[in-house]
Chains A and B, each alone.
With several copies, the nearest count.
Chain A
Amino acid sequence: MKRTSAEYKSSIKPVWCAGCSEYSVLSSVQKVLAELDIPPEDIVVVSGIGCSGRFSHYLNAYSLHGTHGRALPISLGVKAARPDLTVLTVGGDGDGLGIGGGHISHAARKNVDLTYLMIDNRIYGLTKGQASPTTPLGAKTKTSPYGVYEDALAAIPIFLAYDVSFIARGNIGDVSEISELVTAAITHKGMSIVYIVSPCRTFPVEGFKETVESSEVVPADHDRTDRLKAMELAYSYSPLYTGIFYQIRKPTLGDRLRDDTDRAQAEAGGKEVTIEQILQSFA
C-alpha cells in the first residue's frame, strides 16, 4: 500500500499568510516523505521559532516546536539518542543564522545524520518585519529605518566552510526542484542542508524577488565534491544558483559513536559492561 501526502498532514490548519511560500515547502515535504515511504511514527521534526517554526505543527510526526535558534542541537540530541529515526529540522534565516548561528558548525563537525531545511525570507517574519542576518545592506526594515548597516551573510559559503556534508539551495518558485533536493537530502547519510530562498509576501525585502527570479540550476558538470568550485558558484548572485552545491561521504556521528562504543567495550570482550563491574572498578 503506497503512502499518500495526506498521511503526513496533522489536524492543525496552517496560520501562515495567504500566499506564503511556507505552504509550498510543507506540501513538498509531505509529498517526499510519502514517496520515501517513511512511517510518520519514525519521523521527528524539530522546528525553531518564526513563521517557518510553525512547520512542526502541521506535519503528522513526532513534532517538537522548541525555542528560538535551538532546533539544530535539539535535533542532534534526538538523532544521537535514536539513530533509528528520521530527523528533520526546520527554521528561518533569523533562527538559523542569527541566534542559532553558533550551532551549525558543530552539528557539521559531528556530521549528524539529519536534514535541515532553512527557509530564508531575508526578514524576521513572525515578529513582523525586522532585519535578519540575510537582509541586504541598505534595506529598510522596522529596525533599520535608515537602511541596514551590516553586510548580509553568505549562507552557502559558510556551510561549505563548515564542511556540512550535503549542501543545496532551492528556489521556492520551483517546487519540484525543492522536492528533489529534499529527497536527496533525506537520503544523504550525514548532515544535509536545504537552504530555500523564499521571499516573504507580507514583509517583502527590496530586490529579493528579482534575485530569486534570476535563479539558475548549477551547471550539470559541477563536481559536487569540489568545495572551492562550489564556493565560487555560491558567491554568484546573478545568476543565483540552485541545486546541490556539495555532497561528500564521511562517517556520521552515529558511525563514530558506534566505533567509540566498540573501543570502550573492547577490554570487556566487546560486551556491555555491567553496573556491578563499573562499581567494582572504583573499589
Chain B
Amino acid sequence: MGNTEFKSDVDFVVRIAGEGGEGIISCGELFAQAAARTEYHVFTYITYPAEVRGGFSMIQIRIRDWMIYSMGSTVDYLVVFSQQGYDRTIGSLGKGGTVIYDPDLVKIEEVPGATFHAVPFSKISGEAVGGQRGKNIVALGVLGHLFSMDRQVLEKLLQDRFGGKGGQATEINLKSLAVGYEAARQAAMGCRFHLSAPSSQKAVYMMLSGNEAIALGAIAAGCRFVAGYPITPATPIFETLTRLMPKVGGTAIQMEDEIASISACIGASFGGEKVLTPTSGPGLQLMGEQLTLAAMLELPLVIVNVQRGGPSTGLPTKTEQSDLKFAIYGTAGESPRAILAPSGVEDCFYQTLRAFTISEHFQMPVIILTDQSIGYRKATVRIPAVSNITVVDSSVPCEEIDLPSPDRIQTTNRLEPSSEELRGYKRFKDTDDGVSPIARPGTPGGQYLATGLEHTEAGRADYSPSTHVKMTRKRFRKLKALSKTLETNPPECYGPEDAQIGIIGWGSTEGAIREARYLAAEKGIPVRHLHPKVVSPLPNRQIEHFLSEMKQVLVVEENYTGQFAHFVKGLFGARPIEIHKYEGVPIAPEEILSAIEKVAGILDEEDISRV
C-alpha cells in the first residue's frame, strides 16, 4: 500500500534563488549531483527567466531516502542571492527553515522559528577571485559545509565541468569553493545533515533530466537520426543528441527551422531509419503540414513536444499542459496519431521507448508530450538492464511486446515485405489491422510511390469516393488496433481499490498527485489515482471502469480550459471536479490535497444525509 511506500526519515528541500545569470542553476545542479552520489534520491526543479540575463531564477533540490515524486511544497533551506529571489520565495519557507542570504544585497524580515545566516557571497567572491564569477560556487561551498559533503566530490565535479585542473575557470571555482566552506565554518553554521557516505547500491542510478531521459530513450530504442532546431525548453534534448548520436554511429543535424527538421525526419524515415525531432509548442505549430504528410505516407516518426506556457511565445521558460488538444487535433483533415505523456523523469525514458514501438509498429506519427517542469527536472533514475534490450521480430503483434521496464526492454522494427509480397507490391495494402509492409529503399522490387494525395493500395493517386473511403478506414484501423492493444495493458491505477474518491491526471502531475494521495491517506482519506500514459487514443474501458467505481472524480491538469477533463466529460459522460492550475509553475501536492479534503467533506455530508 502506498502509505508504507511513503514512509521516509530523510526528506528535505533546498532552494537557491536570485537573478538569471548569477550561476544559480549550476550551483544547484552541482549540489544535486553531489547529493545524488550518496545513498539518497535527488529531485530538482528549475525556474529561469526567458532573458539571457536578469529576471527571477531558482533551483529547488529535494533529497530523500526513498523515491521522490514531486518537488516538494515547502522549503527547508533557502539560499538567496537577490532581493527579488528573497521576496518571491520566502513565502515557501517551511516551519523551522533556514535562510542563507547575502546581507549586502538582500533585506530580510525575521520569520519566527526560522534561522537566518548572513553570508556576503558577493563580497567574498570579490575578495577571493576579484569579481562576481565565483559567488555561486561560494554558495556551493557553504552548502557543502552545511551538509558536510565531501569537498573532494565537489572538486571533482567542478573539474569535470570546467575542464581539467590548471584551467583558469577551474582554478577560480576551486578557490571559490574553498572560501565558501571557510565562510560557513566562520559563520559557525552547524552541520545540518550528512550527505557523505556513498552507497554501494547507488551505482545503478543515473542523475538525469527529463530531456536527457528522452534522448537516452531514443538511443536505446534504436533511433539513429535526429533533426532539430533549438527551442526552449526542448533544446537540451537536441543538444544531448548532437553530442551522443555520433558516438553511437547515428546522425543529429541542426536544420534551419522546424519545418525543415520534420521534413528531414520524414526523408530519413522514408529511408528506413528510426527518427525523432524534439520541439515545443511554437515549433510544433510549424510542423503540422508535415505531420499529416507523415500520417498520409504512413511513415513512423516520433516528435517530442516539451510544453511551455502559451499562447504564442507566451512563457517560454515556464511549464504548462496546454498543448493536449492541439497535439491530438492540430492538423487539417483526419489522420491517426498517438500521443504519449510521460509522468516523470524516469518515465520519459520508458515512454520514449514505447513511442518508437508504437510508431514503428503502426507506421504513424507519435507525439511525446512532456513539459518544462519534467524536461528540466533532474532526478535519480535506475539504470535499466541494458543487456536485456532485445529487438523482437517485426511480425510480433504490438500487444505481445513487453512494456519497457528497468528489467526488460523490447524494441521493434517496422514490418518489411516478404519476397512474395514484393511481387506486385502494394505498399498500402488494406490489411486487417491496417498495417502494411513497407519496403526500405535499396530493396529491389520494392520501389513505390508515397504521395500525400489520396491513393490506392498500390500508391497511385486516386480521388474516387471508394478509394478515399477505403483508405481513410485503413488508416484509422491502425488506431483502432492500437486502442485494442492499450486495453490489454495493465491499468495505470494506484491506491486502494475501495476508495470513493478518484483522481485522474496526465503527464507531469503524476508525482504531485501521488504525494497528495499519500498525504490524504495519512489523514484517513483513501484516494485512487488513474494516470494514463497514452493520452490518445485513450484506454477507454479502463477509464470507464475507473469512473464507474468512484463516487467523485477530480481531474487535475495545468491549463486553463480543462483539456483532459473535456475528454472525460465528452467521451465518458462524467462530471468531474476540475482542478486547473495555470500559473506557469507545477501544481503542489498540498493544492491537490486541499481539493481532496473538500471533496471528502462533501461525500461525508452526503453519507450523513443519507443516514
Contacts and interface: CB of A to CB of B under 8 A. Distances in A.
The B interface is mostly helix, strand or loop, or mixed, namely: mixed
Interface string B216-248: 100110001101011110010011001110111
A127 interface: yes
Contacts, number: 247
A219 interface: no
Contacts of A73: 255, 259-261, 263-264, 267
Nearest to B439: A62
Interface residues of A, number: 80
Contact of B244 (A62, A102, A278): A278
Interface in B447-506: 447-453, 460-461
A16 B52 contact: yes
Contacts of B186: none
A105 B313 CA distance: 26
A80 B268 contact: yes
B52 A77 contact: no
A58 to B, nearest CB: 9
A53 B231 CA distance: 15
Contact of A74 (B219, B229, B263, B442): B263
A274 B386 CA distance: 10
A62 B246 contact: no
Contacts of A248: none
A262 B37 CA distance: 32
Contacts of A66: 263, 266, 293, 452
A12 B447 CA distance: 13
Nearest to B380: A283
A260 B251 CA distance: 9
A146 B249 CA distance: 14
Contact of A282 (B52, B206, B257, B453): B206
Given A62-B447, A106-B256, A283 B205 contact: yes
B46 to A, nearest CB: 13
Given A41-B445, A57-B451, A73-B263, A263 B225 contact: no
A133 interface: yes
Contacts of B445: 41
Interface stretch (A28-36, A137-145, A158-166, A221-229): A137-145
Contact of B219 (A10, A82, A125, A275): A275
B313 A49 contact: yes
Contact of B450 (A17, A60, A64): A64
Given A44-B441, A76-B267, A77-B271, A67 B51 contact: no
B264 to A, nearest CB: 3
B409 to A, nearest CB: 10
Nearest to A142: B239
Interface string B288-331: 01100100010000000000000011000000000000000000
A15 B53 contact: yes
A115 interface: no
Given A80-B268, A103-B260, A282-B206, A85 B442 contact: yes
Contacts of B449: 10, 12, 56-57, 63-65
Given A66-B293, A73-B263, A81-B267, A130 B254 contact: yes
B259 to A, nearest CB: 7
A265 interface: yes
A18 to B, nearest CB: 7
A77 B450 contact: no
A229 B449 CA distance: 41
A70 interface: yes
B571 interface: no
A17 B21 contact: yes
Given A42-B441, A62-B448, A102-B257, A279 B386 contact: yes
Contacts of A84: 442
B254 A279 contact: no
B55 interface: yes
Contacts of A106: 255-256, 260
Given A41-B441, A63-B448, A272-B247, 20 more contacts: A16-B53, A41-B445, A42-B441, A42-B442, A64-B449, A70-B289, A76-B264, A77-B266, A77-B267, A80-B253, A82-B441, A98-B229, A99-B257, A101-B256, A106-B256, A126-B52, A144-B242, A272-B249, A275-B389, A278-B219
25 contacts: A15-B51, A44-B271, A61-B447, A62-B270, A62-B446, A66-B452, A69-B257, A76-B264, A77-B264, A77-B267, A77-B270, A80-B253, A81-B272, A82-B441, A99-B256, A127-B231, A130-B239, A130-B254, A142-B239, A278-B219, A279-B384, A279-B386, A282-B216, A283-B205, A283-B206
Interface of A: 10, 12, 15-18, 39-42, 44, 46, 49, 51, 54, 56-57, 60-70, 73-82, 84-85, 98-99, 101-103, 105-106, 110, 124-128, 130-131, 133, 142-146, 202, 253, 257, 260-261, 263-265, 268, 272-276, 278-280, 282-283
The 7 A-B pairs of least Cβ separation, nearest first, read A77-B267, A77-B264, A264-B246, A81-B268, A73-B263, A65-B451, A99-B257
